[in-house]
Amino acid sequence: MGYCKTVTFEGKFTLKSGNSFPRITLAYETYGKLNADASNAILIFHALTGDSHVASHAPDDPIGWWEEAVGPGKAYDTNKYFIVCSNILGGCKGSTGPMFINPETGKPYGLQFPVVTIADMVNAQMLLLDHLGIKQVLLASGGSMGGMMALQLAVSHPDRCKNVQILASTGVVSPQSIALNEVARQAIYADPNWNGGDYYADGHPRPDKGLAVARMIEHITYLCEESMQNKFGRNLRGRQQVGYDFQINFEVESYLRYRGETFTHRFDANSLLYVTKAIDYFDIGDGYSSLDEALKRIKARVLIASYSSDWLFPPVQSVSLASAMLRNGIDTTYVEIESNYGHDSFLLEVEKLSELTRDFLESASHHEVSETAKIQSRLQDKRQDHDLILGIIPSGSRVLDLGCGTGELIERLSYEKKAKTRGVDLCEKNVRACISKGLSVRQGNIEEGLRDYPEGEFDYVILSKTIGYLDNPQAVVKEMLRVGKRAIISFENAGYWENRIKAMKGKGMGHTLLSGEPRCRLITLSQFEQFVKSIDAQIERREFLQNGKHIASPEMLDRLVEEYRYLGVEKEEGPALLADTAMYVLKAKSS
C-alpha cells in the first residue's frame, strides 16, 4: 500500500506497565485535506485485526476495511474532513510490534515485547497527532476495540477531542470476552510452530494452524445465531448428504476454515496475543478512584451506538456506559440499532452508520444556531401545548423531555429559550431523527427509571401526553420530581364533554391512575388531581386547551360556558368539561 506512511518517534516511550521503548514507529494513512486551523480532523481507530488502510485512495488501490464509510460524499466525507487512521502500537502492519527488532538483542521482540494497553495505544497516537499539527480532533471514532480507544482518548486526553463516537463497544471488558480471548490464545500456544513466540527466523514455520483456529473462534463471536442461520443454515458443502466423517460437511465449516486460513496470510500470531491481552485489561475506570471519577474528565459530546444482535459487546454494556456518562452530566446520546449481523454490524450496516455519523457530525455545528433558516422552517408548524410549555420554562433552563419523539419540543426549547435539553425515547427512528437535529437523546424506556440522572439535575422534566400509557405512573412521576425541580405533565382530558359522550356509549370511563391497572388510557382532571395528592406532590399551575386554543382567562371561560350552556355546564366545572387537553406543573411538597 503505497499510501501508507510511517513516522518514528525517538526518545523513551513509557508504557502503563512501567516498561518502555527507546523509540516507537507508527504506520498511518491520511485522507482528504487538513484545513488551515486543523479543525476538520477525524481520528479513526481500527478494531482488533484492522490496520491503517481504512479505505482506498485510488481506483487501483486495495479496498479498505471501512471502504463504504470513508471517501468523498460518504459518512466520513473526505471532501470535508481530514481522516487519520493509524495501525496500533503492538500491531503487525507497520507499527512497532512483536515482529520489530529489539534493539537490545538485534532480533525480533517475539515474547520479549512488553505488554501494551489500550491507553498505551492511544498515547502513541497522540504523538502522531502532534506530528501532523493537530491539537484537537473534530471526532474520534471507532468500533469494538476502536471504540475502547475512542473512549480512552476522551478520558485520558479530554482537550484533544471535540466529539466521540463509540460503536459496538464497552467501558469495561466482561469475563465472557476475556474467556473467549483466552481460548483463542490457547489455540496459538498449542501450535508447536509457535515455539514460545520465537518463529521469525528464516525458514522457521509459522504457527498458522493455531492462528487459524484462533481466528475461527473470534469470527464466531462476530456473528450471531440469526445471521449464521440466514447465511448458512444446515446447508451442505459440495455433497448431497452428510458423510458421517470428519471432512467438511457443512457450509459453515467451510466458511470458518476459509476465514482462518486467509487470516494467516495477513496477521501475526504474536500480535494477536498482545492485542487480545490489551482488550482484556481494558477498564476505563482503572487508575481512577471510581468509574465516575474517570468519566468526569470527558469534555466531548459523546455518541454511543449498540447493535441489537451483538452478543460479544451486547447493548446492555453500552446502556451501562451511557448511563454512567449521563449520571456525570456528560452530553451523551445513545441509540440501539436494529440489526441481525451480530458484532460485525458496525462494519456491515454501513448505510445506517453513515446516516448516524453524518447527522452527528453535522449537528456539531448545526446546534450552535448557525443554520437559523433551516431550524425556523421546521418550527413553523407549532403545537399549541408546546407554546404553553415554552411560556412556562424560563430561558437557559435545564430540561429533560420523556418520550421526546422526533424532538420538536426540545429543539424549540434549545433554539427559542437557549435551554440545555436532553431527551428520552424508546424508538430508534425517533432517536435518529433527534440526532439529525443536533439534540442529545437517549434511547430507553422511561418506565425503567431515571436512575441515570442525579437528583435535581434538571429544572423541568416534561411528560407530554404519555402518562395514560404508563404501567406505573406513580413511580415515573416521583422520579421526575427527584431529578427535576418541577414536572410538566399534559394529557387528554377524558372528562371533556365529547369524550364523556363517547364513553357513555362504550364501557364507561376506564381505569383511574390509582387503580393499579396497566395502560390506563382515560384520565379526568379530578382523577389526576387525586393522583397528585397520592404521590405527595403539589400543583403549582394548571393550564387548559380546547381544540388547540388556550383557555387562558376567566373571560374566555365565561364565553365557553355560555356557548355550551345547552349541555348544562356550570362555571365551576367549566375546565373539567370544556378542556380537551390539560397541562399541570407539579413540584414536590418539600420544595
Q: Give the pLDDT score at 364.
A: 57
Q: Give the pLDDT score at 521.
A: 60
pTM for the structure as a whole: 0.87
Task: Delineate the domains of the chain, giving CATH numbers in brackets.
Answer: 5-182+276-364 (3.40.50.1820), 183-275 (1.10.1740.110), 371-588 (3.40.50.150)
Q: Give the pLDDT score at 366.
A: 46
- End-to-end CA separation in angstroms for the chain: 66
Q: Give the pLDDT score at 545.
A: 86
Q: Can you say whether the dihedral through the CA atoms of 366, 372, 378, 384 is positive or negative?
A: positive
Q: What is the chain's pLDDT, residue by residue, as a tens digit (591 residues)?
A: 469 999 999 999 999 999 999 999 999 999 999 999 999 999 999 999 999 999 999 999 999 999 999 999 999 999 999 999 999 999 999 999 999 999 999 999 999 999 999 999 999 999 999 999 999 999 999 999 999 999 999 999 999 999 999 999 999 999 999 999 999 999 999 999 999 999 999 999 999 999 999 999 999 999 989 888 988 899 888 888 888 888 888 999 999 999 999 999 999 999 999 999 999 999 999 999 999 999 999 999 999 999 999 999 999 999 999 999 998 989 999 999 999 999 999 888 888 888 888 888 876 554 444 444 455 545 555 677 888 899 999 999 999 999 999 999 999 999 999 999 999 999 999 999 999 888 999 999 998 878 888 899 999 999 998 898 888 999 999 999 999 999 999 998 887 766 656 655 554 445 556 655 555 567 888 889 999 999 999 999 988 888 877 776 555 555 655 555 555 545 455 566 778 888 999 999 875
Task: Tell me the backbone φ, ψ of residue 440, rounded to 5 degrees.
Answer: -90, 115
Nearest to 367 by CA among 440, 416, 437: 437
DSSP reduced 3-state for 257: helix
Q: Give the pLDDT score at 320.
A: 93
Work out the angle at residue 183's Cα, subtended by the Cα atoms of residues 179 and 187, and round it to the nearest 5 degrees. Answer: 165
Between CA 47 and CA 88 the distance in angstroms is 9
Neighbouring CB atoms inside 10 A of 43's CB total 29
CB 505 within 8 A of CB 491: no
Q: Give the pLDDT score at 448.
A: 82
Which residues touch 586 (CB under 8 Å, ≥6 apart)?
477, 480, 481, 486, 487, 488, 489, 532, 537, 538, 539, 540
Work out the angle at residue 220's Cα, subtended by the Cα atoms of residues 214 and 221, and round it to the nearest 5 degrees. Answer: 95
Residues assigned a catalytic role:
144, 310, 343
Nearest to 78 by CA among 59, 57, 51: 57
CB 568 within 8 A of CB 473: no
Q: Can you say whether the dihedral through the CA atoms of 10, 11, 15, 19 is positive or negative?
A: positive
